[in-house]
Amino acid sequence: MPETDLQILLRGADAAGKIALKHFKNAPKTWDKGGGQGPVTEADLEIDRMLHGDLLAARPDYGWLSEESTDTSDRLGKRNVFIADPIDGTRSFVNGDGTFAHSLAIAEDGIVIAAVVYLPVHKLLFHAAKAQGAFLNGLKIQRIDRQTLRDARILAAKPQMDPDLWPGGVPNVTRHFRSSLAYRMCLAANREFDGMITLRDAWEWDIAAGDLICREAGLISTDRNNKPLKFNNPHPQTAGVLAAGPVVHTGLMKHLQPLPDTV
């Protein structure tokens, strides 16, 4: 029986994990991309080459978008596109922190239909396929969503709580942090936290897999303007990301709007 899209991604994530663990805490060669883009290592590049070759060999008619590959307009004419981040959280990887992840997704007509986020050090494998639910290590994720925004546990970088970013006032939540955006989305999906948010523009490869995993776990996943996330854009960024259960998502969105007396 032919492999499904999800099976192809699972196989790719497993191979990516093996390469990453070979280099992890083994002083991999590291370069600064420049322009504030952060570091890249020989492991990122080796994984990218492997994924590009293996995934496209399995689906040669699909497009390709990856953080570590030169982007071209060819993908824009494809209905289905691989969206990959070989190592999401490269700084963590370089620092010997095991919270880096491999984030792999397939988008069809701009909507993610298959997704895998794999943390090989911690042996955490999140996956989802459209209309089939979200899973962690083979067990379906079951959520009980928080019914109030107050004191909700939200994953966000510290600058995201700057009052200037919240016209309706900074929400009364407790902030937590993990370096990988994909991992943050999965932690929210798995109800270890009540939601996650980034108000700065987000690269598609950081969030595509997490978007489907969140949605299949019952979260609302949008950009900072409360619009559904769309992928395979000519410029592959979205206007931030906000993923949470319905009550928390609605509450956060209210704080992103101007206070009534300032409209």
State the pLDDT at residue 113: 98
Arch. (CATH architecture) of 152-262 = 3-Layer(aba) Sandwich (3.40)
State the pLDDT at residue 259: 64
State the pLDDT at residue 37: 79
Enter the pTM of the model: 0.95
Angle at 187 between CA 181 and CA 189, to 5 degrees: 105
Which of 87, 253, 248 lies closest to 180, judged by CA?
87
Mean pLDDT of 243-254: 97
Portions of the chain given CATH number 3.30.540.10: 5-140
Portions of the chain given CATH number 3.40.190.80: 152-262
Q: Is the confidence at residue 196, as pLDDT, over 60?
A: yes
State the pLDDT at residue 260: 67
Q: What is the DSSP secondary structure assignment for residue 200, as one 8-state letter? A: S
Percentage of residues of the chain with pLDDT beyond 70: 98
pLDDT tens for each residue of 3-32: 999 999 999 999 999 999 999 999 899 998
Q: How far apart are CA 199 and CA 171, in angstroms?
A: 14
> How far, CA to CA in Å, does 3 sit from each of 7, 9, 134?
6, 10, 19
List Cβ neighbours of 192 (8 Å cut-off, separation of 6 or more): none
State the pLDDT at residue 151: 96
State the pLDDT at residue 262: 46
Which of 223, 216, 157, 172 lies closest to 190, judged by CA?
216
Q: Is the confidence at residue 110, as pLDDT, over 60?
A: yes
Mean pLDDT of 109-130: 98
Q: How far apart are CA 117 and CA 10, in angstroms?
A: 9
Residues 232, 81: contact at Cβ < 8 Å?
yes
Tell me the pLDDT band of 263, cut-offs 50, 70 and 90: very low
State the pLDDT at residue 179: 86
Angle at 192 between CA 189 and CA 196, to 5 degrees: 60
State the pLDDT at residue 36: 73
261 or 236, which is more confident: 236
How is 71-89 classified by DSSP, letter by letter? --GGGGG-SEEEEEEEEE-
Q: How far apart are CA 105 and CA 159, in angstroms?
A: 28
Q: Is the confidence at residue 71, as pLDDT, over 70?
A: yes
Residue 207 three-state SS:
helix
Mean pLDDT of 33-44: 87
Q: Please state whether beta strands 80-88 and 63-66 pair in parallel, antiparallel, or not at all (unpaired).
A: parallel
Q: Name the CATH superfamily, with its identifier, for domain 5-140.
A: Fructose-1,6-Bisphosphatase, subunit A, domain 1 (3.30.540.10)
pLDDT tens for each residue of 123-164: 999 999 999 999 999 999 998 889 999 999 999 999 999 999
